[in-house]
Structure 1
Amino acid sequence: MTTARDIMTPGAECAGAEETVTQAARKLTELGVGALPICGTDDRLKGVITDRDIVVKVLGKGKDPAKVLVKELAQSEAVTIGADDSVDEVFATMTSHKVRRLPVIDGHRLVGMVALADAARALSDPKAGQLLEALSTD
């Protein structure tokens, strides 16, 4: 059985909950990624910040990214996948929550990220098409 651990990108870096959005944007740029998990000082996952969040929730509303803290953009509950969960579970979670990226956790520890492309490569052709269709609709 192929698991989330098998298809994830390991060693995901976090945006600290107490960092500014400007700091998170720099980290996104340096890493060349579109999303970062948000980690609290307690080393627990608080959510995910995306480049789109920065544009829509901060810049688009005229807020100063140097004054807005990353924790202000965290969702009420982070959607995650367990490292040993199957690719089918990754598919189901992405589809039901309409997310394109999932932090992968082992216990409470962040161990990687699974992106839509990772899941699509691991799924059979029909399931990959279903996933893309589910995430492309409103």
Structure 2
Amino acid sequence: MATKIRDVMTGSPTSVSPELDLVTVARAMRDEDIGTVLVADGDELLGVVTDRDLVVRGLAAGGDPARAAIGGLASSVTATIGPDDSLDKAAQIMRERSVRRLPVLEDGRPVGIVSIGDLAMEKDSASALADISAARPNT
């Protein structure tokens, strides 16, 4: 059984510049089959954007999504974790901060993302959340 974040995280996270428009980011998410991107300026992590953020804070707000900068709707990063930290520590942080994903930082730069589904598949593979997380996308 995996015990460290590096064993379950999604490595090489997709990072986008805060100046990119919503449409470009949405297409990148579609093309890469991902639901979360990190917003960064070089190696400096500025925020996180999910597919839900694109809809709720982006499209629903009105305006032209081809002109709206992704940095304007990114969520602040309230917590991160290191690749050598434990799965239990990640679960504790997620519980305390009410987040479903944690950016993984090593030497201050993003190297991965770990989700609540990643933890469920490793720690409780018989759970409904693990089953849902392991299922193939319905695209």
Q: Identify whether the pair has TM-score above 0.5, normalized to the shorter chain.
A: yes
Q: How is 1:20-99 mapped onto 2 (pairs within 5 angstroms)?
A: 20-40=21-41, 42-99=42-99
* Greater percentage in helix: 1
Unaligned runs of 5+ in 2: 130-139
Is the 8 Å Cα contact of residues 81 and 104 (structure 2) preserved in structure 1? Answer: yes
Deviations 1:42-82 (A, max 9, x none): 42111110111111111111121111111111234443211
TM-score by length of 2: 0.82
Q: How many residues align?
A: 128
1:122 corresponds to which residue? Answer: 122
Q: What is the aligned partner in structure 2 of residue 102 from structure 1?
A: 102
Report how far residue 96 of structure 1 moved. Answer: 1.5
Distance 1:81 1:128, change over 3 A: farther
Q: TM-score, normalised by structure 1?
A: 0.82
CA RMSD of aligned residues (A): 2.2
| Identical positions, percent | 38
Separation of aligned partners in 1, 2:19 and 2:95: 30
Moved over 4 A (4+): none
Give the Cα separation in 1 of the matches to 2:79 and 2:37.
13
Is the Cα–Cα contact under 8 Å of residues 19 and 70 in structure 2 kept in the other structure?
yes
Distance 1:114 1:124 in 2: 15
1:5 partner letter: R
- Which segments of 5 or more consecutive residues in structure 1 lack a partner in the other structure? 130-138
The one-letter code of the counterpart of 1:87 is L
Number of the residue aligned with 1:3: 4
